[in-house]
């Protein structure tokens, strides 16, 4: 059953990046076809921890993250639902004085970005967070960071894109992709053939496979964060938690369930991941050490998912220098959920004007080439540029 579709922009991947891009491109009037191998928002975008946080990100990500922060404020207008988004604050915990120094150092470095970080320690800290274990000595609070429910937000963005006129095809894997005569030609499952003037690679942990269809090798690897959720408990954790130097991360949803992550699961196959025994043990142990009030609580589910990552902790985002009209946005290293809406907007910028509204050169795909390649420094005006576009 062959079907031929011609569009302005084809998007591979219906996660939060692809769905947001579809939505912004529709607002600009482009015809959009979104191809999702599984179901929109059912992979990493839908099963991640749900952190909506700027604190702790590499500085090169902060302009993009600040822009995302502004977009999250209006998530209901964008996605049609609030997605349980709350600005609970994000508290990054320190176990040692050295951790505190690191947090203070980050606070100073990030001062250009309005994160409003506050260092907390001593009796004031204990009074505010009496439920934390004794080995935590303080932390850095970002009051306007928060969390949301990825299971709801990511599929809702795809729904919103569909409502805005995007042609969304689920269960439609891209089998072949090529570029000739100034257009992209895709062969997809169910005999679907696509001709598009622009192509966005938003394929997450599988982004490198799409890049390879154009002969481009990128060192993306898959990783599988481990998470768990408890039964509903009385509300006590009014802030989303992280650890300096790595460790568990935790939040409590309005219904009372605590969502806690840390460590890694393992790949079941190319599509699914599963919680692994080794880190389950560590996650449980760390949880009862850092949040002792949770001792005796019942964990009702562990899960994992498939994230794409690069060694430098940054995604690939931007134009492909060899294939005109091809744009990449994948491999967000387990921290893409918050960035999603801004990435969609940037991709729409790139299609529309060729210029992203925030600096993204640190995410250039050329950084993996054999020839050493230096990203441009972030302009000091980046913060203003991120804020102006509200």
- Residues 375 and 360: beta-carbon distance below 8 Å: no
Q: Give me the least distance between CB of 24 and other proteins, in Å please.
A: 21
By CB under 8 A, name the binding residues for other proteins: 39, 42, 46, 48-53, 147, 150-152, 155, 159, 223, 225, 230-231, 240, 242-243, 245-249, 261-264, 268, 272, 274-288, 294-303, 307, 333-338
CA nearest neighbour of 337 among 154, 159, 64:
154
Shorter beta-carbon distance to other proteins: residue 42 or 177 = 42
Q: Give me the least distance between CB of 284 and other proteins, in Å please.
A: 6
Name the DSSP letter for residue 114: T
Three-state SS at 145: coil
- Residues 271 and 203: beta-carbon distance below 8 Å: no
Q: 222 pairs with which residues across the strands?
A: 308
Shorter beta-carbon distance to other proteins: residue 50 or 319 = 50
Q: Give me the least distance between CB of 166 and other proteins, in Å please.
A: 15
Shorter beta-carbon distance to other proteins: residue 225 or 325 = 225
Distances (CA, A) of 189 to 175, 203, 259: 7, 16, 36
Q: Give me the least distance between CB of 342 and other proteins, in Å please.
A: 14
Please spell the DSSP secondary structure of 164-199, one letter per residue: TT-EEESS--EEEEEEETTEEEEEEGGGEEEEEEEE
Shorter beta-carbon distance to other proteins: residue 197 or 280 = 280
Shorter beta-carbon distance to other proteins: residue 242 or 344 = 242
Whole-number Å distance between alpha carbons of 26 and 24: 5
Q: Give me the least distance between CB of 232 and other proteins, in Å please.
A: 8
Whole-number Å distance between alpha carbons of 67 and 82: 18
Shorter beta-carbon distance to other proteins: residue 46 or 138 = 46
Q: 35 pairs with which residues across the strands?
A: 12, 169
Our CA angle for 164, 165, 168, nearest 5°, is: 110
Shorter beta-carbon distance to other proteins: residue 188 or 243 = 243
Q: Give me the least distance between CB of 7 and other proteins, in Å please.
A: 21
């Amino acid at each position: 059953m062959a079907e031929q579709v011609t569009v302005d922009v084809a998007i591979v991947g219906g996660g939060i990046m692809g769905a947001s891009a579809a939505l912004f491109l529709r607002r600009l009037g482009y015809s959009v076809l979104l191809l999702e191998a599984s179901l929109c928002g059912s992979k990493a975008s839908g099963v991640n921890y749900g952190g909506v946080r700027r604190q702790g990100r590499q500085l090169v990500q902060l302009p993009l993250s600040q822009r995302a922060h502004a977009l999250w404020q209006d998530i209901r207008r964008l996605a049609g639902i609030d997605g349980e988004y709350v600005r609970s604050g994000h508290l990054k915990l320190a176990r040692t004085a050295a951790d505190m120094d690191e947090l203070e150092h980050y606070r100073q470095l990030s001062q250009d970005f309005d994160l409003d970080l506050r260092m907390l320690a001593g009796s004031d800290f204990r009074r505010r967070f009496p439920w934390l274990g004794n080995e935590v000595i303080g932390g850095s609070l970002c009051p306007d960071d928060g969390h949301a429910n990825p299971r709801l937000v990511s599929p809702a963005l795809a729904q919103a894109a569909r409502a805005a006129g995007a042609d969304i095809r689920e269960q439609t894997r891209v089998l072949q992709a090529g570029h000739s005569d100034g257009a992209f030609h895709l062969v997809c499952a169910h005999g679907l053939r696509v001709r598009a003037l622009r192509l966005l690679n938003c394929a997450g942990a599988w982004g490198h496979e799409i890049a390879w269809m154009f002969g481009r090798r990128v060192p993306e690897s898959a990783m599988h964060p481990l998470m768990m959720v408890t039964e509903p408990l009385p509300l006590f954790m009014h802030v989303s938690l992280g650890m300096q130097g790595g460790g568990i991360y935790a939040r409590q949803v309005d219904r009372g369930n605590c969502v806690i992550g840390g460590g890694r699961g393992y790949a079941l196959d190319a599509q699914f991941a599963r919680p692994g025994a080794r880190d389950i043990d560590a996650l449980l142990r760390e949880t009862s050490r850092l949040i002792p009030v949770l001792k005796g609580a019942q964990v009702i589910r562990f899960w994992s998912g498939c994230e794409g990552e690069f060694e430098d902790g940054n995604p690939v985002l931007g134009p492909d220098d060899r294939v005109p009209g091809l744009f990449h946005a994948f491999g967000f290293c387990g921290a893409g959920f918050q960035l999603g809406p801004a990435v969609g907007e940037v991709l729409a910028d790139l299609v529309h004007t060729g210029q992203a509204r925030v600096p993204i050169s640190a995410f250039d795909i050329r950084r993996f080439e054999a020839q050493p390649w230096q990203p441009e420094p972030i302009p000091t005006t980046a913060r203003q540029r991120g804020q102006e576009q509200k």
